[in-house]
Amino acid sequence: MKSFLFHHHPAQLLPLADIAAVTAYEREATPLYLSLPHGGRSYPTEILAQGCYELERFRSLEDIGTDLLATVFADQGCSVLAASLSRALIDVNRPAHAFDSALYEDDIPSHGDQDDYRAYITSGYGVMPRLSAKRTPLYKSPPRFAVAQELRDRFHTPYHAHLHNALTQRHKLFGHALLIDVHSMPGQAHGKSLPDVIFGDCHGRSLPAPLRHIIDGFMARTGLSHSWNYPYAGGYITKHYGTLHGPTYALQIEINRHLYLAKPHAIFDDRLNRDKLQSLGHTITDLTAELTKALSHLSAAQ
């Protein structure tokens, strides 16, 4: 069992019934709402006990530390929704039907090759992942499809119901909403170093240009490097909820783990520099404050 324990940011091994459907911090409503879909580190003991490899393989898929960012955002007055279950079990940043037929012991319904997420599914990273970050199998023996359906209904469905309701509330209160979907990323991709932050707006399809200009100006003052849309342009949540002309805009933020991890180039290292993580959280909440002001001006202009 020692390999299942991490001294700095441990996994939470719990009976399935004890894992919260979502973790939500509801503060005074503003047009902004933050989503952290990949920070969950809860693992059902029933599933890990049946046909799984080492927990480290599952944990390699976590956006390590982003669950702590959620608490920083909430402490700064932001409303935040975070996944509780690890995305290695159910990935809420995938469509609900994006199941991988290669994973299960029984046949599953087909949704056709036209699915926009077919490449993710066949690569092993559907709504219930088949592979670790190192592309090694997560399961010794294939799970039943009924297990996947239960996990989806317990965690994916409530996450999106909560997100939909929060954004709908903001439409009614403010006439518009901005969803910010926060992730972490490795220091390199495709053999190239990545900047400190990558913003994704689905190549200009989920965020109006004035808000993008606000972000560029803010980042220039922070001293952090940033870029747009490559290699992360926005996942399912950004694409599904965001539109260029509103009433909901969406922005994905990918944060380079070298900003807060002790060994940022390791596949999995849970040793966090919490002071750096706290400072980073404050930087992002400062950005949300500027975006909130810009949203009011944008709404008035429209």
Average pLDDT over residues 54-61: 90
pLDDT above 70 covers a percentage of the chain that reads 91
Between 128-132, 178-182, 184-188, the lowest mean confidence (pLDDT) is in 184-188
What pLDDT, on a 0 to 100 scale, did the predictor assign at position 267?
55
DSSP annotation string for the chain: -GGG--SSS--EEE-GGGS-S-EEE--S--SEEEEETT---EEEHHHHTTTB--HHHHHTTS-TTHHHHHHHHHHTT--EEE--B-TTT--TTS-TT---TTT-SS------TT-TTHHHHHTT-SSS--B-TTS-BSBSSPPPHHHHHHHIIIIIHHHHHHHHHHHHHHHHHHS-EEEEEEEEE-SEETTEE--SEEEE-TTTTSS-HHHHHHHHHHHHHHT--EEESSS----HHHHHH--TTSSEEEEEEEEEGGGTBSSTTSSS---B-HHHHHHHHHHHHHHHHHHHHHHHHHHHH-
Per-residue pLDDT band for 231 (boundaries 50, 70, 90) equals: very high
Average pLDDT over residues 164-185: 96
What pLDDT, on a 0 to 100 scale, did the predictor assign at position 270?
64
Q: Is the pLDDT of residue 302 over 90?
A: no
Q: Is the pLDDT of residue 150 over 70?
A: yes
Average pLDDT over residues 287-299: 87
Phi-psi label, residue 181: left if phi above 0, alpha if psi -120 to 50, beta otherwise: beta
What pLDDT, on a 0 to 100 scale, did the predictor assign at position 86?
97
pLDDT in tens, 4-49: 333 478 899 999 999 999 999 999 999 999 999 999 999 999 887 7
Residues contacting 222, CB < 8 A, separation 6+: 283
Between 5-9, 64-68, 84-88, 213-217, the lowest mean confidence (pLDDT) is in 5-9
Per-residue pLDDT band for 2 (boundaries 50, 70, 90) equals: very low
Domain residue spans in the chain? 2-93+146-301
Superfamily of domain 2-93+146-301 in CATH is Zn-dependent exopeptidases (3.40.630.40)
- How many angstroms separate the CA atoms of 70 and 56, rounded? 23
What pLDDT, on a 0 to 100 scale, did the predictor assign at position 113?
53
What pLDDT, on a 0 to 100 scale, did the predictor assign at position 286?
96
Question: How much is the mean pLDDT over the chain?
Answer: 90
What pLDDT, on a 0 to 100 scale, did the predictor assign at position 265?
59
pLDDT in tens, 89-147: 999 999 999 999 999 988 887 765 556 788 899 999 999 999 999 999 999 888 999 99
